[in-house]
Structure 1
Amino acid sequence: MKHKFILSKMPVMLVTTMLVTTLILIGCETEGDRGVMATGDAEISNESVQQKVHEEPNFEAIVLHKNESTITVSPTKSTEQQYILGTTGVDYSAQIGDVVRVWTTGQYEDSYPSRGVATQIDQVK
């Protein structure tokens, strides 16, 4: 008799458990998480990017391609690796074939070519 009572209440208990778990998980998100979920973007501010600029460049590279919002480079020490770097807000004058020093945020997408964000680009040659 006891087992029959428990089995009849099982769906109610399952729904209640799922509801409580969902509410707990929603309460754990941060304000930053809500912004990312709403826009689909991490909304990196220019100030936070500038804080990540290293004193030394991440690498020297040869410019392979560029357009108004990205630059594709290949580090001079590793011709097999290439990076497509976002350059929005970065002032640089390098042309295709130039050697440049590149500063980045240090965060890259796991793809080929790797994708990241440049924070500073200086022409070497």
Structure 2
Amino acid sequence: MAATRNKIGIWMDHSIAHLMEHSNNPFEIKTIESDFTHQEKINSLLKGQDHLHNKEQHLQSKYYKKLMTVVKKYKEVILFGPTDAKEELFNAISSDNRFENINIQVKQTDKMNAQQKHDFVREFFANK
């Protein structure tokens, strides 16, 4: 039986997500990267705008599915970051009833260094 973990903070934009499990142990950041890299964008643009859009949609969907696999293992999740990627992920999660028992919140933040991300996650869950 897989244990359900309690809390995780995910700082994300469209290219990378930093996952920080909230625990008493020192924070460890895991990353998940989108396959839609800058080089991929250039290659797709050379093939035309429609190709770029289709490629981006496909790779973003794959990226969000990877993140959803992680989110499924937690009871509480905070999605934060400077772009609208967190809202896009939240919308994908909201339409999937496998996530209905998970408390997921979304917060807009600026770009942050590793320490600021840790502090944000610690403070967010300290108020819970």
Higher relative contact order (CA 8 A, sep 6+): 2
Larger gyration radius, structure 1 or structure 2: 1
Q: Which structure shows the higher helix fraction?
A: 2
Question: Scaled by the length of structure 1, what TM-score is found?
Answer: 0.25
